[in-house]
């Protein structure tokens, strides 16, 4: 029985420790992490374990102690994990019924609870606290082997009933409040709600399973170092690969340059060999002395000599046929049957009469033979004339090629230099007054380009150099903003040295229209119309941009053709003389002043450009309209409408264009009336009657056949 009494006393002290004397439910603080509370709990727990080890008993008493320790242990664990404590459910209260109090227990209770002996009360209270902690063996966070306590009960709050023994538990309540100062304020609120902690047990386990911060930092540093080393290794490998590719690319570029230069040299050799053969066949320039000076005169080759000899032979045969026809007419039999006597010739001598007279049948037979021979000679003469014209066209191309070869041999860029570390010059295309155009290869973009090199004469004065550079920069500023499929594109501009710079243009495989006309003389109307339609389309674009642009130097040499036997698509180039119709210098009613009078190609300029007066003439887009009419006429008839076979100096001296009031249309080749009407519209002498580019683009002749029929049907319906 003493064991039961001791167990009942411990039970009461346990209730008094956790439930206090107020008779109300109280809540434990959610977190008790202060260093003082943890240290006090650990000391109390250790002391209780040491004092309670001697009081253990076997049998039923040991079982009751075990159950009490389990309850205490669970409560001790719940202090660190549950936010509050509440009375236990009824089933728990039934499992731990209170025993009847013995006198010994009452005496011991009164002795411990006496207020007179304060020192003994405090000591008894301390001893009771130490003995009670025996039942929390392994439940203290500082004493357990686990990092975090594992609650005995579920995560939901566990409610405990307060002990009816209020008076005896005041000391324990005071001690608990001293350890947990926030518990008293929380117990005063009877409407306290249970609070679920934010951190779950699995998260706590994961947090406790993590290594210390220093180890994590060292581990991450090692991982990052490995990653950095790996990235450096990959970067080094990629850099080596890039260097290898660059080396391969440089070798390919060198090989490409070598092959292109070899191909260009072979083409140059073939062209020079062909030109040398044509020198003997078509002719060449020979230096001859005239007085005290030497001049170069053209000497025809054996092809022209043979044609001339054949023409002379045909002329002699024609004269012989004419002589025989005259003799035959003398032997013509008379219709009256009388014979002719002797007659005097033109030289006054008397000719004897014919010995024999031809019959009528024989006369007509001889006459027919002479007529056939005469027709054959005429046909041969026509063929020779065509052959001569063809030779003349070949001679013109041959002369052009000889000049090109001469300019190429004298060019400072004949050794295939690479300009701007990018453009490999291959062959000379042509040369103008102060510039030359080379076919080049863009090593960066891997495409053919045309490099127009502008060279300033070193003997020029500074003001002339500044003026030339001003015009070149203006051409570049105009051309760089243009973007149209019928206009050559400008790719790049760079400086070569102090006296030269280069503009890089789009390269066209075919020749220009001037070369095509010299080779073919004339173009069928359908093909010529296609060229004019594309040209007007490009001019329309130039007049729709802001500010509008006048080309001013439109001619066959500035119209580039596509590759092939037929002209196909065309592109306009050379904006060196272009005029920008800006607001301060241009008036829609009068146009703009012509500040560069005398420049341009005279055969393709309108009459107003040749007017000389106090004030400069006014020009507009009608200048390009006149040029379109001249080009179309030349394409159809193979010659210029005004000043054909005249030099520019002769045109200027004779005022040829100022007298060009009406174009004359040859009978051959046949041309449609619509084409003639279009040419007349373009070649209106008075600029007031001549349409502008935008008006010309709406001309019926330039519209497709489908649109013409549609417009005609609409006009008839109205």
Dihedral sign, Cα of residue 461, residue 462, residue 467, residue 472: positive
Q: Which of 78, 514, 553, 624 is catalytic?
A: 553
CB 353 within 8 A of CB 340: yes
Instruction: For residue 553, indicate whether it is catalytic.
Output: yes
Joined tokens for residue 514: 């001037």
426 membership: H or E segment, kind and range? strand 423-431
DSSP letters of 129-145?
HHHHGGGGTTTSTTTSS
Distance between CA atoms of residues 251 and 55, nearest Å = 99
Instruction: Report in angstroms the alpha-carbon separations of 513 from 113, 184, 570.
Output: 129, 109, 9
> Scanning the structure block, which residue is given the tokens 């049907």?
713
Phi then psi for residue 30, to 5 deg, are -65, -40
| 329-341 core/surface letters (b: 16 or more CB in 10 A; e: else) | eeeebeeeeeeee
Cβ neighbours around 148 below 10 Å, total: 16
439 membership: H or E segment, kind and range? strand 435-442
In terms of Cβ atoms closer than 10 Å to its own Cβ (0-12, 13-18, 19+), residue 278 is: buried
Distance between CA atoms of residues 193 and 555, nearest Å = 99
> Scanning the structure block, which residue is given the tokens 């149209």?
484
Four-CA torsion 47, 49, 51, 52, nearest 10 degrees: 150
> Scanning the structure block, which residue is given the tokens 């440089």?
250
332 among the known binding-site residues? no
- As a whole number of Å, the end-to-end CA separation of the chain is 133
CB 372 within 8 A of CB 321: no
Distance between CA atoms of residues 80 and 652, nearest Å = 115
Q: For residue 566, what are the contacts with CB-CB under 8 A and spacing of at least 6?
A: 527
Phi then psi for residue 601, to 5 deg, are -105, 115
484 preceded by a cis bond (ω within 30 of 0) = no
- Going by the DSSP 8-state scheme, the letter that residue 43 receives in this structure is H
260 membership: H or E segment, kind and range? helix 213-281
What is the chain's alpha carbon radius of gyration, rounded to the nearest angstrom? 60
Instruction: Report in angstroms the alpha-carbon separations of 199 from 30, 156, 193, 204.
Output: 12, 14, 18, 7
Phi-psi region of 291 (alpha: psi -120 to 50; beta: other; left: phi over 0): left
Residue numbers in the known binding site for ATP are 452
The catalytic site residues sit at 553
């Amino acid at each position: 029985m003493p064991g039961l009494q001791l167990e009942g006393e411990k039970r009461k002290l346990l209730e008094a420790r956790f439930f206090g004397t107020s008779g109300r439910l109280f809540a434990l603080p959610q977190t008790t992490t202060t260093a003082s509370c943890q240290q006090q709990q650990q000391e109390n727990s250790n002391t209780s374990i040491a004092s309670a080890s001697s009081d253990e008993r076997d049998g039923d008493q040991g079982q009751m102690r075990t159950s009490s320790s389990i309850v205490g242990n669970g409560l001790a664990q719940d202090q660190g994990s549950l936010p509050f404590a509440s009375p236990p459910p009824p089933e728990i209260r039934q499992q731990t019924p209170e025993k009847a109090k013995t006198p010994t227990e009452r005496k011991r209770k009164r002795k411990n609870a006496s207020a007179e002996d304060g020192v003994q009360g405090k000591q008894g209270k301390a001893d009771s606290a130490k003995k009670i902690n025996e039942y929390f063996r392994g439940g203290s966070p500082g004493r357990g082997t686990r990092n975090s306590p594992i609650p005995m009960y579920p995560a939901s709050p566990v409610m405990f009933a307060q002990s009816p023994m209020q008076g005896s538990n005041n000391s324990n309540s005071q001690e608990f409040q001293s350890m947990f100062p926030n518990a008293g304020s929380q117990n005063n609120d009877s409407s306290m709600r249970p609070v679920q902690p934010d951190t779950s047990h699995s998260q706590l386990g994961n947090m406790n399973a993590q290594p210390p911060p220093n180890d994590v930092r060292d581990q991450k540093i090692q991982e990052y170092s490995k990653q950095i080393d790996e990235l450096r290794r990959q970067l080094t490998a990629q850099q080596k690969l890039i260097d290898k590719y660059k080396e391969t690319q440089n070798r390919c570029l060198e090989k490409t340059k070598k092959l292109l230069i070899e191909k260009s040299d072979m083409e140059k050799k073939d062209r020079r060999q062909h030109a040398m053969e044509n020198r003997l066949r078509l002719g060449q320039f020979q230096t001859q002395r005239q007085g005290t000076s030497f001049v170069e005169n053209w000497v025809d080759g054996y092809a022209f000599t043979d044609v001339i000899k054949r023409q002379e032979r045909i002329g002699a045969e024609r004269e012989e046929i004419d002589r025989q026809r005259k003799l035959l007419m003398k032997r013509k039999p008379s219709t009256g049957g009388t014979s002719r006597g002797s007659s005097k010739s033109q030289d006054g001598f008397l000719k004897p009469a014919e010995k024999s007279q031809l019959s009528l049948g024989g006369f007509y037979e001889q006459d027919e033979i002479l007529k056939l021979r005469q027709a054959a000679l005429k046909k041969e003469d026509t063929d020779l004339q065509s052959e001569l014209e063809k030779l003349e066209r070949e001679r013109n191309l041959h002369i052009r090629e000889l000049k090109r070869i001469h300019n190429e041999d004298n060019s400072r860029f004949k050794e295939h230099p690479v300009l701007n570390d990018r453009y490999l010059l291959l062959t000379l295309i042509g040369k103008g007054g102060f510039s030359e155009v080379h076919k080049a290869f863009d090593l960066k973009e891997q495409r053919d380009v045309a490099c127009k090199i502008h060279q300033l004469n070193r003997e020029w004065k500074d003001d002339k150099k500044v003026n030339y550079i001003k015009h070149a920069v203006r051409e570049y500023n105009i051309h760089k903003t243009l973007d149209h499929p019928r206009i050559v594109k400008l790719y790049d501009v760079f400086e070569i040295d102090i006296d030269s710079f280069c503009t890089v243009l789009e390269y066209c495989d075919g020749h220009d229209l001037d070369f095509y006309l010299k080779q073919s003389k004339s173009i069928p109307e359908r093909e010529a119309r296609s060229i004019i339609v594309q040209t007007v389309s490009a001019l329309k674009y130039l007049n729709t941009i802001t500010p509008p642009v006048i080309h001013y130097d439109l001619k066959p040499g500035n119209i580039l053709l596509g590759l092939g036997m037929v002209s196909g698509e065309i592109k306009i180039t050379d904006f060196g003389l272009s005029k920008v119709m800006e607001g301060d210098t241009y008036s829609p009613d009068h146009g703009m002043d012509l500040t560069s009078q005398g420049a341009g190609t005279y055969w393709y300029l309108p009459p107003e450009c040749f007017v000389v007066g106090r004030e400069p003439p006014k020009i507009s887009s009608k200048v390009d309209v006149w040029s379109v009419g001249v080009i179309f006429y030349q394409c159809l008839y193979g010659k210029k409408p005004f000043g054909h076979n005249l030099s520019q100096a002769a045109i200027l001296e004779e005022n040829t264009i100022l007298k060009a009031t009406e174009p004359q249309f040859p009978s051959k080749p046949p041309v449609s009336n619509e084409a003639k009407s279009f040419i007349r519209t373009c070649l209106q002498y008075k600029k007031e009657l001549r349409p502008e580019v935008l008006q010309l683009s709406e001309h019926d002749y330039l519209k497709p056949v489908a649109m013409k029929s549609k417009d005609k049907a609409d006009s008839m319906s109205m």
